[in-house]
Every structure is written in C-alpha cells, then in structure tokens.
Amino acid sequence: MNDVPGSREPTHVHEALLGDLDRLRSVSAKLAHIHDIVHRQFPILQRITVALHDPDSDLLKTFCSSDLRDNPLRNYAAPLADSPALQELARSGQPRVIDDLAAYDSGRPGSQPHIVAEGYRSSYTMPMQMDGHFAGLLFFDATEPAYFTPARLASIDPFAHLIALTVIRELSVGRTLLAAIKTARAFAEHRDSGTGAHLDRMSRYARLIAVDLAESYGLDDEAIEFIFLFAPLHDIGKIGIPDAILLKPGQLDSEEFEAMKLHVDVGREIVEEMIDDFGFEQFGNVSILRNIVHHHHEAFDGSGYPDGLQGEAIPIEARIIAVADVFDALTSRRPYKQALSVEASLAQMEVLAGSKLDPQCLAALRRNPQTLDGVQAEYAENPIG
C-alpha cells in the first residue's frame, strides 16, 4: 500500500496470516490477531490503536484498539487542529518515534500525562492515507523508553503496513456501499425536501447516543463509526414509495400508511442487492447497515414494524437511529411546522419512552445538551422561504 509513506510493503508477512485475517469479521478482531503475533517477538509493545480522521468535523476518533493489559483506548474524539504535532504528521505523511513520552506532550489520543500514568514510555506513530488523502493515525505504544529502535521498526513495519491495509480496505468497502447508494439516496432527498441537513444532524446524534451507551451495550469504536457512517441510509427505501404518499402534506390514511411501511423492506432489498453485486457479504459490519435500514421503525413495546420486535430484541443500532431521527424531526423547521426547542422536543419524546422509543437512548440525548446545541449550530437548516 504505497499510500503510507515511510513504510515497506509487507511482502514477508506469512500468507497464513492473511488467510487468518480474512476469516475474522471485524477490524478489531483482525487488529487483535496481528497484535498477538507481533507480541510474541516484541512483548513490550503492549498497545496498538487506530484513530480515523473525519474531514467534515476535523475530529480524530478512535476506531479500534488492542491492549494486552486489557486497557484499550476507546471513545476518544478531539479536533485534529488541537494538536499541531499531529497536524504536522497528517501534512507530512511521515512516521514519528517518541523515545520518552514522559517528556513529550503530543496532544495525541492518550497523551501525556495520561499515557504515562498508564505505564507507556515510548511510541511509534504512522499516518495512514486513503485515495491520496490523510485518513488517520496508527499508534504503537511500548512500556519501555526508546523501544522503537531502527532494527525493531524494520520488523514491526510490515505488520503496521498490514494493519493500515486492513483498516483502509474495511473503510473502502463501507464507503463503496455508501457511494453505490448515494445516487439512489439523492433521488429520495430531492423528492422529500425534509432530508437535507437532517441526515448530517441525525447521523451525529446517532454517534452521540452510541458513544454515551458504548460501555452499557458493548459498542466498540468500530461499531460506533459504522453506525455514524450508515445512519444517513436509514430511509433509503423511500425511493420506492409513490410521490402521492411520500410528499402528501397531511396525515396518511390507513392504506397509505401500509404502503409507506414498505420502505423498510424496499431498503433491505436495495442493501442486499448492493452487497451481492459488490461481493461484500464478508464485510464485518454489514449487519449494522442491514439492521439500521430494516429495523429503525420497530417500537420498544413491540408495536412497530416490520417484525414487531420488542425491547432488547431490537438491534441497538436501530433503536439509536429511531431516537436520533425523531429528535431531529421535532427540532427541525419544515414548511408545515415550526421547530421545537431541545427541551420541548425531549419532553415530547419522554411520553414515547418505553413505548415507541428506547428510554436509554433518550437518556443519552439528555446527558449531552452541549453536543446537541453544537450539532444544531453547525448543521443548521437553510431558511425556508
């Protein structure tokens, strides 16, 4: 992968390792497998972390982490602009070694003094690129100072390159799915004027909820990232709904509502066709996309559709999307209604907690008012003339 400057192709990584990786479903599992192999030769290299960069928000976010002391770095997000040192890495594309973390405050995930308090003494950081653009950073942390000597780096480098390849390949699959569906989604957006900035906001509300509930529901950073990426596709099936129903200004009658409900099945069919056409069945996070598209209208009390799932039987990603979607609908101005305030919207949603909406997902919104305000300010609706 020539997109990673300063690294050599992993030609001497055993082919059996590549076969093992293909059998693992998630990037997190693949990273742990590679780390286990590297650890046999370098027992002091205790943690490997992948952080991705979102160019829209400038956030550097943890994506996956392997820590042999069972203390992986999770749920970290901070603007890249807050760290000039990391900005320079992104600009130059060159790897960096820090021999003494105790004397170096890098502004990086787990930066001093936290990383030193965790027992790490030296680090190696490698920038990753995707399609010629900065994609994120790969961090290696060791519990001894000056551990990353040129000789050790020569042996570690092929594995670092393999990790980068694995991450970029997984992201490429996800983004190819997004690109493949983008044109179809654009038709839905043009037909339904309420879906423009809504998709940007609700995907960020979904990420907020997922991060807040990560510990309770065992959501790692990889799952959170794909919930964020796939959230805008939740209503892709609406492209199969007739204009007379989709664009009707008033309330739908019972027959029209039954037709509208079919959009979750249409959406699932679109997703399955894309997966089959591109051969993405082995993509470890495809189930997140399926669940979001097909189950975001399930109700917590079992009264939703299409399968009448109840409570914890509803995939957590679908419950998250449902709450994010309703919240943005209430707080957004439309030609037929005024926007409600955050508090008024949350109050209305409380009435639905435990029946239509997951109470824990709603509580996550309540715990993060400043983030809600920030998303609304950054992705405000265009004035309605």
**Residue ranges per structural domain of the chain:** 15-169, 176-378
Strands (DSSP E) contained in 6-58 are 45-54
- For residue 178, what are the contacts with CB-CB under 8 A and spacing of at least 6? 229, 230, 233
CATH class of the 15-169 domain in this structure: alpha beta
- pLDDT for residue 183: 59
- pLDDT for residue 2: 35
In angstroms, rounded to a whole number, what is the distance separating the alpha carbons of residues 35 and 342?
Answer: 44
pLDDT-flagged residues of the chain (< 70) = 1-23, 25, 105-114, 177-196, 278, 282, 335-336, 382-385
- pLDDT for residue 26: 83
- pLDDT for residue 110: 47
> What is the residue-wise DSSP string for 201-270?
HHHHHHHHHHHHTHHHHT--HHHHHHHHHHGGGTTGGGGGS-HHHHT-SS---HHHHHHHHTHHHHHHHH
- For residue 247, what are the contacts with CB-CB under 8 A and spacing of at least 6? 191, 192
Crossing angle of the two packed helices 263-278 and 286-295, in degrees rounded to 10: 160
What's domain 176-378's superfamily in CATH?
Hypothetical protein af1432 (1.10.3210.10)
In angstroms, rounded to a whole number, what is the distance separating the alpha carbons of residues 77 and 192?
Answer: 33
pLDDT tens track for 66-92: 998 877 778 888 899 988 889 999 999
In angstroms, rounded to a whole number, what is the distance separating the alpha carbons of residues 15 and 13?
Answer: 6
73 contacts 62 by C-beta, under 8 angstroms = yes
- pLDDT for residue 8: 42
If you count them, how many residues does the chain have?
385
Tokens (6 digits) for 65: 């982490």
Give the 3-state secondary structure percentages of the chain, helix then strand then coil, rounded to 5.
55, 10, 30
Residue found under tokens 């109050």:
347
Tokens (6 digits) for 92: 């130059």
pLDDT tens track for 124-145: 999 999 888 899 999 999 999 9
- For residue 44, what are the contacts with CB-CB under 8 A and spacing of at least 6? 142, 143, 144, 147
